[in-house]
């Protein structure tokens, strides 16, 4: 039998606070066992969980691995606005005039993640390319 990814683990300064941001960002929930001050916190997201582990070191360089988000019921631009309202910050805007591209955001601890075109935007572009 093959292995499955059980969690994606992210080191951070405040596990509960960062996990709370990601739970809201992913419209998911924190594990019922997690409380403020815990050194670990789990976001129970569909597909795989995000496990946040408190470490003493600060983030100092660009992430070697990052998450790419594809909105399911919003446009890319709507999702970027929503995530910024939750506490993310804009880092790099790679949107192109033809609708392709992505937006790079930082979560509250400075970890990079990308927001791609939404599900409907991607489907519309694929349908137009086939016509």
Residue 110: both structure tokens together: 């400075």
pLDDT in tens, 70-82: 999 999 999 999 9
- The CA-atom distances, in angstroms, between 47 and each of 15, 40, 50, 89, 118 are 21, 20, 10, 26, 18
Q: Is 1 within the bounds of a domain? A: no
Task: Give the model's pLDDT for residue 128.
Answer: 87
Domain span holding position 28 = 7-58
CATH number of the domain within which 43 lies: 3.30.720
Q: Residues 106, 73: one domain?
A: yes
pLDDT in tens, 66-124: 999 999 999 999 999 999 999 999 999 999 998 899 999 999 999 999 999 999 999 99
Q: Is 110 within the bounds of a domain? A: yes
Q: How many domains does the chain have?
A: 2
Q: Is 2 within the bounds of a domain? A: no
């Amino acid at each position: 039998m093959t292995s499955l990814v059980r969690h994606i683990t992210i080191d951070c300064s405040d596990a509960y606070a960062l996990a709370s941001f990601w739970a809201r960002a992913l419209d998911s929930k924190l594990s019922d066992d997690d409380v403020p001050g815990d050194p670990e916190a789990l976001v129970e997201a569909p597909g795989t969980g995000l496990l946040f582990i408190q470490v003493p070191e600060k983030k100092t360089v660009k992430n070697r691995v990052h998450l790419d988000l594809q909105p399911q019921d919003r446009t890319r631009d709507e999702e970027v606005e929503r995530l910024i309202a939750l506490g993310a910050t804009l880092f790099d805007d790679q949107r192109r005039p033809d609708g392709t591209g992505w937006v790079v955001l930082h979560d509250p601890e400075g970890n990079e993640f990308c927001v791609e075109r939404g599900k409907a935007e991607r489907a519309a572009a694929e349908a137009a390319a086939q016509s």
